[in-house]
Structure formats: C-alpha cells, structure tokens
Amino acid sequence: MKLMEPRGPRRIEPRDRHFPDQVPIDAYGNGGFRFAGLSHRGSLLVLPSGVHGWDPAAPAAIDTASLAPVVDQADAIDTLLVGTGRDLVPLPADVRAALREAGIGVDVMLTGAAIRIFNIVLGERRKVAAALIAVD
C-alpha cells in the first residue's frame, strides 16, 4: 500500500460554476459583465437556473449546441433575448427553428439593448432568459 502518490501534474476537473439565481445585469464592457456584486469575463447565459458562463465570443459561434441549456429550460422561458455584441447579427435559421420548436420566442439585438430589456422584463417577473456576447 502506498502512503503517498507521486508528485507531478494533477488533472483539475472542470465544474459548472454559476451564480444560482436569475439576477439583473448591473454593468457590461471590458470583455465581461457585473451582476450581484460579482464580475465575470466572457459571455453569459442568464437562465431561470442562474447566471452561467457561456462559450461563444462572437455571434458566428451561436449555434444549437451553445443554446442547448436554453432549450433544456424551455418550460420556464417564454422569450430569449440574444445580445450579439456591438454588431447586430441575425441567428441562423436552424437556431431560430430549434427555439421555435421548443416554444421559445427570440429577439436578437445589440448586447447593451438586450441587457436593458432583460432587466426590465425580469423586474416584471416574466419568463425571460438572455444569451449575451461580451463586448470590449
């Protein structure tokens, strides 16, 4: 029986780190967001299950796989607001079709506009989610 393991590089297991409540976004810019007294670098998904880091860094990276968590929570979402950064970029037809099939309406706009509308609609206690591309 070994009392100690050999020293050397260890593998770190990734975890789904997220803020467990759906909260308003307080600020954005410099490649990230501020919410609930915290800051996050990179893009965000704000879902009924909470605020999650999101991989897409550009609108072209938004696809059905990146929005799978949204579809998974479709029962709690009527509308998805998609903030595509500083440029308005339409979602591909297959992404729109997948959201429609899940019963989720989608509105695409600049990230700043998506945050402002998200905060208002969230304050009205409506069933909303947001997919937000970070901007510099």
The pTM of the whole model exceeds 0.85? yes
pLDDT at 16: 61
The pLDDT tens digits of the residues spanning 86-108 come to: 999 999 999 999 999 999 999 99
Phi and psi (nearest 5°) for 123?
-65, -25
Q: Percent of the chain beyond pLDDT 70? A: 88
pLDDT over threshold 50, residue 34: yes
Return the biggest CA–CA distance within the chain.
Answer: 62
CA distance 89 to 8: 46
> Please, what is the average pLDDT of the chain?
91
pLDDT over threshold 60, residue 9: no
pLDDT over threshold 80, residue 114: yes
CA distance 17 to 135: 21
Tell me the C-alpha to C-alpha distance, in Å, between residue 130 and each of 8, 44, 136.
41, 8, 18
The pLDDT tens digits of the residues spanning 38-78 come to: 999 999 999 999 999 999 999 999 999 999 999 999 999 99
pLDDT over threshold 90, residue 2: no
**Structural domains of the chain, with CATH:** 19-132 (3.40.1230.10)
pLDDT at 14: 42
Identify residue 123 by its one-letter amino acid code.
Answer: G
Among 126, 79, 70, which Cα is nearest to 105's?
A: 79
Among 17, 41, 37, 45, which Cα is nearest to 28's?
A: 41
